Amino acid sequence: MNTKDIQQALIGRGFYPGPIDGYPGRLTTHAIKQFQQANGLTIDGLVGPKTLAKLFPDTNITSPEMDETSLPLALPWLEIAMNLLDVKEVAGQGSNPLIIDWAAKLGLADYHDDDIPWCGLFVAHCISSQLSNEAVPNNPLLARNWQKFGKQTTPGLGAVLVFWRESKQSYKGHVGLYWAEDEDAYHVIGGNQSNAVTITRIAKDRLLEARWPHTGLDEHPIIRMATNKGYLLSTNEA
């Protein structure tokens, strides 16, 4: 089960999700909300077990089949992040217009140069493009402001992870999304990691806090174990 399956099911039930492209954009979220409203479900735009069961009533599906690399349908912000892997800032003069557009859509009028650190901008884009009712921190560009985002959680798939940089006492930090972990490090999908969107290992002892969106579905954290080379080993519900 993936986003394309959801889009096709929505069309089959008369709700237009935009192109059948596997991308959980605003049109797909809007169509999910319309479907939820029509079926007496919580209108959150997220495909949890109840919405999934209504969309596929003849298949008795209560949750998508998952392997080590699958993403739960209820984590569209993480799917957006994965779709943006390898987006890079422009070296030297000029900026990547995609990154600048993220700032414009968030109303960050003063952001006009991708030399300005954009890890917080990346997370804000992923969250706000999928969770329209979720508040992002004031000045989301400042990584440590993400300690005020949503609610506290334990590290797990899709969680916002906030790290210190240079020292715990410094104002500097880094923010990204949990993808996996090994014994010593979290594997983080983040922006401005080597000037690009990448999956990068960050030492566990640098973690300040893990946060979860207020409007995200409350689920048990999904812990993904990986090798220190990034290869996923298993998915365990904890």
Q: How many angstroms separate the Cα of 44 from the Cα of each of 30, 64, 72, 92, 108? A: 9, 18, 15, 41, 25
Q: What is the pLDDT of residue 149?
A: 97
Number of other CB atoms surrounding residue 8 within 10 Å? 13
Ordered per-residue pLDDT tens for the chain, 238 residues: 788 889 999 999 999 999 888 878 788 888 999 999 999 999 888 888 888 889 988 776 544 454 555 788 889 999 999 999 999 999 888 999 999 999 999 999 899 999 999 999 999 999 998 888 899 999 999 999 999 999 999 999 999 999 999 899 999 999 999 999 999 999 999 999 999 999 999 999 999 999 999 999 877 889 999 988 877 764 433 2
Q: What is the pLDDT of residue 214?
A: 94
Delineate the domains of the chain, giving CATH numbers in brackets.
3-55 (1.10.101.10), 76-237 (3.90.1720)
Q: What is the pTM of this model?
A: 0.82
